[in-house]
Amino acid sequence: MAQTAFAPWDDPDERPLIEFRGVSKRFGDFTAIDDLTLNIFEREFFALLGPSGCGKTTMMRMLAGFESVTEGHIWLGGQDIIDIPPNKRPVNMMFQNYALFPHLSIWENIAFGLKREGRPKDEIAARVDEMLRLTRLGRFAKRKPHQISGGQRQRVALARSLAKAPKLLLLDEPLGALDRKLREETQFELMDIQEKTGTTFVIVTHDQEEAMTVASRIAVMDEGRLVQVATPDVIYEAPASVYVADFIGDVNIVEGRATPEGAGLRIDWAEGQAPIAARSDSAFARGQSCHFAIRPEKVTIDTERPDRPNAFRGKVIDIAYLGNISTYHVELAGGQMIKAQMVNARRLANRQITWDDEVWVGFTETAGVVLEG
């Protein structure tokens, strides 16, 4: 059975759960958020991605109600929430340091929000037990936060913020404190829980891999503005700007001048070098300066000239061996460095390319993207 793709952002009839309308936030002279407009839909797993200081945390804190809005409006489920205090919003937050109450047991931590709603005791107990099951914490219910591990604390924080069944769950760098292996496991666990509960998640992270793994859509931010909002594959394959291309994953960027030629473009990038043949959806004027961005895994490396539209000679300067893959840093004639990635299907001993080898790098016309400016 084919599943219909989850893409409410493409459906013009779909009403967004959250709407930022012309939202700005200024701290004195400093503009943290600059006239930002954004829609987030129900059941989405939405990632705010950017370097520290880009305004992603401020945006999340405005959703939670800890930060006021200088200009503009935020709508949540058809209600303007900018004047609603944090304790009255149907929004819960999972804090970066988890912010578990050290004087309360795990059980009491999870029950904390439910008790404030004044629900009957047995109902609270049933809900807490359900949350403990969901996060596999049943055995630790009676312990205090300082008596469990970091990964378990992370799950308690998640259970506590989900207990009230919020319309929207905010996650502030939720996996930042975990080691790599646990982080990867937990990413899938998060997605699983998000799917089970059907809650809308907004996650703040500076880890692009994490955003790519968990999110249905990613908003890349820079200096208080949205640079691109799209699905992970679009962000990766068709970045809207050099900034996005550079921020997400590894990329080769070649500066040059575009010339339309037939169905594609010709990019002159260095004296005495053959131009790069590329394709682009956007139109370029003759001689317009551009950046050609191509991912290392889309560049092949061979000892002989490959039969590809683009092939350039170079010398291997450096090899980064990562076990499953190797990245070759190849210097082309004229000094341009190109990274090419290859899967290490063979064992290391049989590797035929090594330092200082003369090699050919190659890629197809559609492998890269041409960006303005």
Q: Which residues bind another protein (CB under 8 A)?
A: 64-66, 85-87, 91-93, 95-97, 99-103, 112-113, 116-117, 146, 160-161, 164
Smallest distance from the beta carbon of 17 to another protein, in angstroms? 18
Q: Which is nearer to another protein, 95 or 243 (CB)?
A: 95
Smallest distance from the beta carbon of 248 to another protein, in angstroms? 29
Q: Which is nearer to another protein, 72 or 90 (CB)?
A: 90
Smallest distance from the beta carbon of 161 to another protein, in angstroms? 8
Residue 115: which H helix or E strand, with range? Answer: helix 106-116
What residues contact residue 63 under an 8 Å CB cut-off, 6+ apart? 18, 74, 76, 91, 168, 170, 202
Residue 27: which H helix or E strand, with range? Answer: strand 18-27
Q: Which is nearer to another protein, 144 or 257 (CB)?
A: 144
The single-letter DSSP state of residue 180 is H
Smallest distance from the beta carbon of 112 to another protein, in angstroms? 5
Smallest distance from the beta carbon of 96 to another protein, in angstroms? 8
> Of 263, 275, 264, 259, which Cα lies nearest the Cα of 310?
275
Side chain identity at residue 313, one-letter code: R
Instruction: Please work out, in degrees rounded to the nearest 5, the angle formed at the alpha carbon of residue 211 by the alpha carbons of 205 and 213.
Output: 145
Q: Which is nearer to another protein, 121 or 286 (CB)?
A: 121
Smallest distance from the beta carbon of 212 to another protein, in angstroms? 27
Q: Which is nearer to another protein, 86 or 306 (CB)?
A: 86
> Of 26, 59, 67, which Cα lies nearest the Cα of 40?
59
Q: Which is nearer to another protein, 4 or 87 (CB)?
A: 87
> Of 356, 363, 263, 367, which Cα lies nearest the Cα of 316?
356
- DSSP letters, 307-318, are SSSEEEEEEEEE
Q: Tokens 């004027």 belong to which residue?
A: 285
Using alpha carbons, list the distances in angstroms from residue 19 to 39, 73, 199, 215.
Answer: 5, 8, 17, 18
Strand 252-261 relative to strand 225-230, pairing:
unpaired
Q: Six-digit token pair at 59?
A: 């945006």
Q: Which is nearer to another protein, 147 or 303 (CB)?
A: 147
How far is residue 75's CA from residue 63's CA, in Å, rounded to a whole number?
Answer: 9
Smallest distance from the beta carbon of 102 to another protein, in angstroms? 7
Q: Which is nearer to another protein, 59 or 359 (CB)?
A: 59
Smallest distance from the beta carbon of 104 to another protein, in angstroms? 8
Q: Which is nearer to another protein, 111 or 278 (CB)?
A: 111
Q: At what angle do helices 106-116 and 121-134 cross, to 10 degrees?
A: 130
- 165 φψ region: left (φ > 0), alpha (ψ -120 to 50), beta (else): left
Smallest distance from the beta carbon of 210 to another protein, in angstroms? 21
